Structure 1
Amino acid sequence: MSDPVLFSLKGRRALITGASRGIGFTLAQGLGSFGAEIILNGRKADALDTARAKLEQEGIATRGAVFDVTDQDQVIAGIEAVEKEGPIDILINNAGIQFRAPLDQFPRNEWDRLISTNLSSVFFVAQAVSRHMIARNRGKIINICSVQSELARPGIAPYTATKGAVKMLTKGMATDWARHGLQINGLAPGYFETEMNAALVADEKFSSWLCQRTPAARWGKAEELVGAAVFLSSDASSFVNGHILTVDGGLTASV
């Protein structure tokens, strides 16, 4: 069991949504360093080109796939275009947004945007990719969940609702597709230093509370998600299905 091939991604192609920056880009770097060819997805071609250039400087084979994950027609066309060049062996559904507001004043348009980006996109992309994976009787799908798949905080109830739904959608996907040779799991980050959390990182009161609340006593670094993502993408997780792997410094283990 010490064979490093167990975690190797050489010869596999990984599609990562929302991959031009943040956690998505870090996961692209991580999977690429383990041998995967990376397909970066996003809505903006220029942002993907910049991200691709950075990966290629590191010797990681990469290409871009420009389509809006909230538009099912674009998703279907985009996946078909990628599949014509080679199979998608690994899918990481990473695209996501956040919006904070008091629940009684939460704008309807922001509710719709959160549902579309954080939940509907996971269904659209996974469904389109799974049809090809099922035909090959193999494939890995990783849906990015959150500690908010389990816990709520003031001002983000709609976000929490989307991440709770992604957790259960992940379990449902595993229930339907595991028999076809697919492994579908969730990766749930705790509080990480990312662009999306920049305001919270800069908030001394919040950061102080978080460090006291988290057994590890600090924010997470995006690169600390790579090991879990590689595990779920590799043969090492061949009998892991419908599992939500939490990486949160112990936050959800402690009261």
Structure 2
Amino acid sequence: MSTTRQDLLQAFDTLLQPVHFKDYGPNGLQVEGRATVEKIVSGVTASLALIEAAVAAQADAIFVHHGLFWRGQDGRVTGWMKQRLARLLAHDINLYAYHLPLDAHPALGNNAQLGLQLGLAATGRFGEQDLGFIGGRAGGELFADAAALAAHVEKVLNRPVTQVGSAQKAIKNIAWCTGGAQGYFEAAIAAGADAFITGEISEPQAHYAREMGVAFIACGHHASERYGAPAVAAHVAAQLGLVHQFIDIDNPA
């Protein structure tokens, strides 16, 4: 089966509601390709490697979390931007990108899907635009301490994590927000978190963790955001009768 480029955009917009978010770049169709879509490739970032993989997979559209265009960019089409755009345009591939709306979706978004992977159940939201999730283990059990939680995250995501703040106590309330959400740490503390999980850590958060007794776990920007894009793309593809393929381009960051 197939759909139109515009109907696919409408399906993504209806699901993710980008009009409700103040974001860092345009959400939706970022690069226009062919009018008819039969196959979607999803990925985390619209890198050249993902675009090349989508070309090889004969995709009509790419769906990502990190698109090509961001507020404050230079605006000139040179270097890496020229290379990526050239490949998309040469192969007439549509590029759809959703940033904060993809983080926030209550069931299919990055935060919801990371929670699902980690066995966490959200009971509330916190932070700017309510992007952060807070809750605990889905079965109600507690982690013995921050080290046990960090070890669990490492095992599930299959990569080392950075843990700061010992939090030598049972971990009940866990807050999380994927990607570069280290700025949400203070809001997570205010929301009553015993531990906070995100993708990255910056210098101030190490001090906050030690001084406030709340553990900070950085598990990798890419690693924390591998799950939302394929969940949303698979959902919409099934809805419209399209073929979907997730392609994970490894990124150590």
Q: Normalising by the residue count of structure 2, what TM-score does the alignment of the two structures yield?
A: 0.29
Q: Which has the larger radius of gyration?
A: 2
